[in-house]
Each structure stands twice: as C-alpha cells, then as structure tokens.
Amino acid sequence: MMQPILITGVSGQLAVALGEGAPGHGLSVRQYDRLALDFDRPASIVAAFAETAPWLVINAAAYTAVDAAEDDADDAFRANRDGPAQLARLCEDAGIPLIHISTDYVFDGLKGAPYVEDDPTSPQGVYGASKLAGERAVLERCSRAIVLRTSWVYSPVGRNFVRTMLNVVQRTDRLRVVADQKGCPTSAPDLGAAILSMAARIAADGWQDRWAGLYHAAGTGWTTWHGLAVATFEAAARYGARVPTVDPIETAEWPTRAKRPPDSRLDCARLEATFGLRLPPWQNGLARTIDAVLADEAALAP
Ligand SMILES: NC(=O)c1ccc[n+]([C@@H]2O[C@H](COP(=O)([O-])OP(=O)(O)OC[C@H]3O[C@@H](n4cnc5c(N)ncnc54)[C@H](OP(=O)(O)O)[C@@H]3O)[C@@H](O)[C@H]2O)c1
C-alpha cells in the first residue's frame, strides 16, 4: 500500500481543506498538528517525517499573523523559513516532492497589473519577508519542490476576512472597509482541491522534473476588500442575514501594524499551462463558503 502524504497543520484553513478533500482524490494523508510537528522544535519535524515515511509532503502550516509578525520576527522566520527549509532538506534526502505555500505579500503591490512569478519581489513587512525567505530556502534545498503563492485565503473555518464580516454584521448596520487594495480572494477548499489534483497526478504519472518551481495559485478574478465585503453580505442575504451599509475607505484611514501591498493580484497562467489547473472564480468559492458557514449556523439554531 502506498505510504501517506505528510501534511503539516490540522486546524489551519488550508490544512482542513486538504484533510477533507483527500479521500475524494483517492489520497491517504497523515496530518500533524503543532503538538506533534512544531517548526519551533526541529526534532519534531524529523520525528514526524520518520514516522510517516511519506511519498509527498504538503506544507500547509505557517506563521500567518501579518501584523503580529512585525513584533515577532524570530517566530515568523522560524515557522516560515527555517521549518520549511528543514522539510525541504528531508524531502531532498528522501528523493520525494514537497508542495509548499507562499504568499502575494512577497510583492510591494506597485506594479499596477497582476504579478507573474518572475516579477521582482519586495515584501513590505516581516510576514512577507519571512515567506519570501521560506520559498527561496525550499527551492534551493529541494529539487522536487513546487511553491504555490496564493492570496486572500478564506474558508468556512479559521480566522479570515469573510468570517469576520459575517460576525460583524450581527453587531452593526454600517461599517467601513478599505477599497483601495486589490487582490485575488482564494477559497481554501478550491486551493486544496488544486493541490490534491497535483498530488494525484504525481501519484499517477510519477514526478516530472519540469514541474519543480514557483507558481501563482489564487482564485480567478479580483476585487478589493470592500468588494469582498459587499459580495459576502449579498451572498449571506440569501440566508436572511441583514445587509449593512459598507462605506469605502482608503488604506490611510485604516492603519495597521504591517503595511499591505495595494495591488497584489496574481497572474496564474503558469499553473494552468503546466498543470491544466485554474482555480474557480472567487465568487464561486465565496458562495460555497457562505453556504457552509450559514447552513451550519442554521443547523445549530433552536
Ligand atoms: N490566510 C491568508 O490569507 C493567506 C494568504 C496568502 C498565503 N497564505 C499562505 O497559505 C498557507 C495556509 O494558510 P492558512 O490561511 O491555512 O493558515 P492558518 O489558517 O493561519 O493556519 C496555519 C497553520 O499553521 C500551523 N502553525 C503555525 N505556526 C506553526 C509552527 N511554528 N509549527 C507548526 N505549525 C504551525 C497552525 O497550527 P496551530 O493552529 O496549532 O497553531 C495552523 O494549523 C500558509 O503558507 C500561508 O502563509 C495565506
């Protein structure tokens, strides 16, 4: 029987999507939570790897607190550079592939058009810098590494913008949301499905060296945070949720600890050309996320 895929993370947005989606792709996975595999404890990475003897590793774990990272650089770099570097070395030594996830925050957002993989990077904060260092460390150490940069991830679970909006609407009829940052919202289940399709292809066809490298993998289309908020409320209205007034504001009116790229839209053509994979339009993923969150709430209602 084939060994499982080792997945770092259990509770994260992408980790949950991978765990839920794997059986549908005929894939066996072994997921590790932070108690068992902690990037702060290198020995735990070695132990998990030895225990699983995987044929593929998917690194879905990361330090993702963008603002907190500004005051927590050591932790961010341990989780986003050093841990992935160690995983990459283990994968290289074992001759197996590694799928690692990176971010649109490696860019400064000043290009004025969707970014392609080879565009110059210039992270604006510690989180982006740590993720950039991580993708480089992985690609340097593992000849079978696929690095996927994604963006604006949301899902029915975990902490994300869409769920925050759904919570806020229960407390207010009017809110202000930044309207001058552009990006590609990405549903974790859609990203997870693309990753699992890749994994199934590697399992079926065997590894091909031309697959190694950097890809952009985000939901198709783009919007602003304001656009995403409005679309969230419109989708939730189908469940009878009230629709608040969403006032567009500029980034300067909503100061955050870490600077965000104003336009980090990702061009995902390379992913489609190489793997035939194109994530669905972000509105589709959003509709399914709202369905999942609000259907759950309806089921819990007295
Ligand atoms: N969220 C976004 O908007 C976004 C945007 C672009 C790219 N990405 C990238 O997409 C990937 C998945 O993100 P996500 O949104 O699914 O993240 P998430 O929901 O924040 O989950 C992060 C996961 O990483 C684990 N983790 C954190 N620090 C760890 C450590 N030191 N050692 C081991 N595990 C650790 C967490 O475990 P615990 O919960 O147990 O701590 C959790 O399972 C990440 O690479 C992220 O950088 C995310």
How much is the pLDDT for 83? 98
Q: Which residues does 15 contact at the CB level (< 8 Å), separation at least 6?
A: 7, 8, 9, 31, 60, 61
Ligand 1 in reach of 11 Cβ (< 6 A): yes
- The Cβ of residue 241 has, within 10 Å, a number of other Cβ atoms equal to 18
Ligand 1 in reach of 39 Cβ (< 6 A) = yes
Question: H-type helices in the chain, by residue range?
Answer: 13-21, 42-52, 73-77, 83-94, 126-141, 161-168, 188-205, 225-237, 269-275, 282-300
pLDDT for position 23: 97
Whose CA is closest to atom 14 on ligand 1?
Answer: 13
Residue 252 has pLDDT above 90, yes or no: yes
pLDDT in tens, 93-110: 999 999 999 999 999 999
Among 34, 154, 186, 195, say which to mutate for ligand 1: greatest number of ligand atoms within 8 Å of CB.
Answer: 34
The predicted structure's pLDDT at residue 242: 85
Q: Does 99 contact ligand 1 (Cβ within 6 A)?
A: no
| Residues annotated catalytic, as ranges | 127
pLDDT per position as a tens digit, 196-233: 999 999 999 999 999 999 999 999 999 999 999 999 99
Cα separations in angstroms, 249 against 152, 163, 227: 19, 20, 12
Ligand 1 pocket residue status of 293, Cβ below 6 Å: no
State which ligand 1 atom lies nearest to the alpha carbon of 191.
Answer: 10
DSSP state of 23: G
Residues counted in the chain: 302
pLDDT tens per residue, range 48-59: 999 999 999 999
Per-residue pLDDT, 177: 96
127-170 tens-digit pLDDT: 999 999 999 999 999 999 999 999 999 999 999 999 999 998 88
Q: Which single residue is written with the structure tokens 């770092």?
A: 8
Please check the confidence at residue 289 and state whether its pLDDT lies above 80.
yes
Atom 10 of ligand 1: nearest residue by CA position: 101
Residue 238 or 64, more confident: 64
Asked if residue 151 lies in contact with residue 102, where contact means CB atoms within 8 angstroms, the answer is: no
**Average pLDDT of the residues of the chain:** 95
Q: Is the CB of 31 under 6 A from ligand 1?
A: no
Give phi and psi for 186, each to the nearest 5.
-130, 125
The response to whether residue 179 sits with its C-beta less than 6 Å from ligand 1 reads no
Q: Is 34 in the pocket of ligand 1 (CB under 6 A)?
A: yes
Question: Quick one: pLDDT at residue 275?
Answer: 97
**How far is it, in rounded angstroms, from Cα 195 to Cα 24?**
13
Residue having the nearest C-alpha atom to atom 18 of ligand 1: 12
Taking CA atoms only, the protein residue closest to ligand 1 atom 5 is: 151
- The CA 156 to ligand 1 mean position distance, Å, reads 15
Distance 53 CA to ligand 1 centre (A): 23
pLDDT of residue 240: 84
The C-alpha atoms of residue 51 and residue 67 are separated, in whole angstroms, by 35
Which protein residue has the closest C-alpha to ligand 1 atom 44?
62
pLDDT digits (tens, 9 = 90+) for 27-52: 999 999 999 999 999 999 999 999 99
* Cβ of 68 below 6 Å from ligand 1: no
* pTM exceeds 0.85: yes
Instruction: Indicate the pLDDT class of residue 299, thresholds 50, 70 and 90.
Output: low
